[in-house]
Chains A and B, each alone.
Chain A
Amino acid sequence: MLLIYCPYCEEERSELEFRHGGDAHIARPTNIADISDAEFEDYFFLRDNPKGLIFERWRHIHGCGRFFNAARDTVSDKFYMSYKAGEPKPYIPGVSPASEKPLSENVGETYEATEGTAK
């Protein structure tokens, strides 16, 4: 059983309490009505599915209910770290992200950045 650190509960909890939420740091186009079908396909459907370090969304659905992000190795399943929604991609010492996209790209998460506050 995997133990996953929830940054809101501030402790490791069983993977049974969590749900995977796909790739993190995917910025919704601000001009979504204007983009082509191919551009929409790329934003909405296409993912790299790489071997190695990736950044992905998780939800502590049977715990505090929060979405957060985690850095995980897709081969070993090792979780390097978890961080709150809205925070930028962290630098993992000694490990390069498996995605071809550079680390500086896609740091803006429009909806996740405000998800932590109930209004």
Chain B
Amino acid sequence: MADHALRKAPLAGRHGGSAGARVTPAAPATRLSLRAGADALGALSAAFGLTLPTRPKTSASAGGRHALWLGPDEWLLIDENEADLMALAAGAGVLHSAVDVSHRNTAILVSGPHAAGAIASGCPLDLGNAIFPVGAAARTVLGKIEVVAFRPGEEDYRVECWRSFSPYAFGLLSEGAEDAGL
């Protein structure tokens, strides 16, 4: 008998896309669904080591940790180094709601010159430079599922989706990547 259960990554071993738009599963990360009022943002920002953004569709990043604006009092926090975000939130000492969604979500990275086109195959969000520049983030839809789109780099997009929907999202993005740039 195994001494402990092995965690299975939802998209382990998958690869897809095209030369213009690579589609790859993101590495595991810790994530928080954070809700807080304006009076708590200073203490929470200090606890997380970045300034929680308050403008629509913006984000803040520091050392592999990202805070994505989802709504007027809602953020998605992602830590690519798997820091204990729940402990950081608990130490802020101000009223807030934090739910650990590290394993509810998984992410798919879409990169390359045709990355935006690959995502646009199933997403109505305008991903152009003028309206979705580097650092932009938004909750939206991809095909029939809800996703959070984030643009960490010029040709890099991160698509966060719920774990159980990830094979669908990966398939749709891979198809889109093959079509983009044709």
The answer to whether B124 touches A8, judged by C-beta atoms less than 8 angstroms apart, is no
A residues at B contact (CB < 8 Å): 1, 8-11, 13-14, 16-17, 62-66, 116-119
The answer to whether A64 touches B139, judged by C-beta atoms less than 8 angstroms apart, is yes
The answer to whether A117 touches B37, judged by C-beta atoms less than 8 angstroms apart, is yes
CA distance A16 to B140 in the complex (A): 9
Given contacts A11-B131, A118-B35, contact A66 B71 (CB under 8 A): yes
Q: Which one, B71, B97, B125, contacts A13 given CB within 8 A?
A: B125
**Which residues from chain B contact A14 at a C-beta distance below 8 Å?**
124-125, 140-141
The answer to whether A65 touches B146, judged by C-beta atoms less than 8 angstroms apart, is no
Q: Which residue of B lies closest to A1 (CB)?
A: B124
The answer to whether B57 touches A62, judged by C-beta atoms less than 8 angstroms apart, is no
Query: Interface size class for chain B?
Result: 10 to 19
Q: Nearest Cβ in chain B — how far from A53, in angstroms?
A: 26
CA distance A119 to B36 in the complex (A): 8
SS of A interface (majority): loop
CA distance A66 to B71 in the complex (A): 7
How does the 8 Å CB contact mask read for B28-64 relative to A, with 1 for contact and 0 for none? 0000000111000000000000000000110000000
Which 4 pairs between the two chains have the least Cβ-Cβ distance? A14-B124, A64-B71, A118-B73, A9-B56
Q: Nearest Cβ in chain B — how far from A94, in angstroms?
A: 30
Is B138's CB within 8 Å of the partner chain A? Answer: yes
Q: Nearest Cβ in chain B — how far from A15, in angstroms?
A: 8
Q: Which one, B36, B57, B71, contacts A65 given CB within 8 A?
A: B71
Q: Nearest Cβ in chain B — how far from A86, in angstroms?
A: 13
Q: Which residue of A lies closest to B37 (CB)?
A: A118
Q: Nearest Cβ in chain A — how far from B5, in angstroms?
A: 34
How does the 8 Å CB contact mask read for B111-135 relative to A, with 1 for contact and 0 for none? 0000000000000110000010000
Q: Which one, B72, B97, B125, B146, contacts A64 given CB within 8 A?
A: B72
The answer to whether A8 touches B146, judged by C-beta atoms less than 8 angstroms apart, is no
Given contacts A16-B141, A118-B37, A119-B37, contact A64 B124 (CB under 8 A): no
CA distance A9 to B72 in the complex (A): 8
